[in-house]
């Protein structure tokens, strides 16, 4: 997983549209170790929301994907080091940024 993120990061300017598949793969892998039906069902909802969210607003897609790759790598490194506190901090950082990005997109696309 780490290598896939590093490989995409190295060619991101040409292949930034490929991030959504890697993002889904990463989050599915993380969530696969959770034995909680709520988390597994939430993953489906999150996938739906974020796939539509990224379809709405393409203006900063490269920058958003680059930031998410960095956040994933930070989280992966913490997990590989078996550092629970760092892993939790990286996960929360990623969730905060994702929430901010989603809210910004909703502000840009107000419904009439």
Dihedral sign of CA atoms 9, 4, 49, 32 in order: negative
DSSP 65: H
65 token code pair = 């994907």
Query: Who has greater pLDDT, 27 or 10?
Result: 10
Whether 107 and 95 have beta carbons less than 8 Å apart is answered as no
pLDDT digits (tens, 9 = 90+) for 19-73: 988 998 998 898 888 777 887 787 777 777 666 655 556 678 899 899 999 999 9
pTM summary value: 0.82
DSSP 111: -
pLDDT digits (tens, 9 = 90+) for 69-89: 999 999 999 999 999 999 999
Confidence tier at 98 by pLDDT (50, 70, 90): confident
Residue with tokens 């901010």: 100
């Amino acid at each position: 997983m780490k290598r896939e993120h590093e490989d995409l990061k190295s060619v991101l300017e040409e292949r930034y549209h490929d991030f959504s598949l890697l993002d889904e793969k990463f989050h599915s892998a993380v969530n696969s170790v959770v034995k909680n039906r709520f988390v597994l069902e939430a993953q489906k909802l999150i996938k739906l929301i974020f796939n539509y969210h990224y379809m709405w607003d393409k203006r900063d897609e490269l920058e958003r994907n680059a930031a998410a790759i960095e956040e994933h790598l930070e989280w992966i490194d913490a997990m590989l080091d078996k550092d629970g506190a760092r892993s939790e901090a990286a996960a929360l950082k990623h969730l905060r940024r994702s929430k901010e990005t989603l809210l910004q997109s909703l502000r840009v696309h107000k419904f009439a």
